[in-house]
Amino acid sequence: MTLRLEINQIWKSYPGQEVFHGCSFSFEANGIYALIGPNGCGKSTLLRICALLEKPDQGEVAFYSGDQKETIDLNLKRRISLVLPKVGTFNTTVFKNVAYGLQLRGRSREEIKSKVDRALQFVSLSHKKKQNALTLSSGETQRLGLARALVIEPEILFLDEPTASVDQKNTEIIENILRDIKKDRRSTIIMSTHDQDQTKRLADHVLKINQGELQLLP
């Protein structure tokens, strides 16, 4: 059963800046949620909090399978994934970069090969699998980050500005990948974006961060 996410009364501050005060929302399973708002409003912070990489000062991040509340542990963290604007790569092949998460999970060589090949095909990087990942273009690197996230089959995929630093061709490729994920109901996608047109093209639900609160736009 696909995970759903709830945030309840989230408060977060940094020195001299209050980012969220009493922020709550329920993200239902499947579909694409877009987070919008000006630079510095807290989009990236909210994604890190939801992806369990940063703790709120107060409040709760909760995951549910149906009505069952999940314990936040390593097994749960392996069911979600965050792709950052700048994807870190290892100085090895594209294939091995994508395989890394599966190797950590102790998967068999046959399973790793099958899943990595499928993930690379999904993001149109099969022809690059033997190439050193450090030689990829910025757009290809962003697609590599998507493949690395998708290969573990996350139930919730968090994307922080997935097309901010790529050209138009790679933007179109990445948007088509996200449409395919939605079509196949592979994951719930929660993404931040500064691109209003992209929001219209992709999102089922649009959330604006305004003065520390989340507003669901009509």
pLDDT digit string, tens, across residues 27-76: 998 899 999 998 889 999 999 999 999 999 999 999 999 899 999 999 99
Per-residue model confidence (pLDDT) at position 185:
74
- 68-69 sheet: strands from edge to edge: 17-27, 3-14, 58-65, 68-69
Per-residue model confidence (pLDDT) at position 140:
94
Per-residue model confidence (pLDDT) at position 148:
95
Per-residue model confidence (pLDDT) at position 1:
63
Residues in the chain: 218
Low-confidence stretches of the chain (pLDDT beneath 70): 1
- Tokens found for residue 141: 């690197």
Task: Spell out the SS3 assignment of 57-101.
Answer: CEEEEEEEECCEECCCCHHHHCCEEEECCCCCCCCCEHHHHHHHH
Per-residue model confidence (pLDDT) at position 86:
87
DSSP state of 204: S
Which residue segments constitute the domains of the chain, with CATH numbers given?
A: 3-217 (3.40.50.300)
